[in-house]
Amino acid sequence: MALTEETKNDKIEVLQLAAGYPVIQVRAATIIKRDDVEISRSFHRHVLTPDADLSGEDADVVAIAGTVFTDDAKAAHAAAQEAE
């Protein structure tokens, strides 16, 4: 009876905030299997802003960030942070 655990991003969403910049919401699924039969699945979400460190993210998340985190998005995020 072998137990295995797998974590994978199963949902990546780009949300446009009212503050004028996008964020990326990533949902990761942790899947526990016994003899290749899923017995448990749980989820964890995290949000990335235009100033996020992407070094620990999967290649697909980095590619999306490279598209949506433009210079304008970064400037809007910085302005919103200063306004707080």
Q: In this predicted model, what pLDDT tens digit does every residue of 7-33 receive, in sequence order? A: 999 999 999 999 999 999 999 999 999
* Residue 79: CA count within 13 A, CB half-sphere: 10
Q: Kindly report the CA angle at 52 between 77 and 43, in degrees rounded to 5? A: 115
Chain segment 42-72, per-residue pLDDT in tens? 999 999 999 999 999 999 999 999 999 999 9
What is the value of pTM for the model shown?
Answer: 0.87
In the chain, the number of structural domains is 1
Supply the range of the domain harboring residue 10. Answer: 3-83
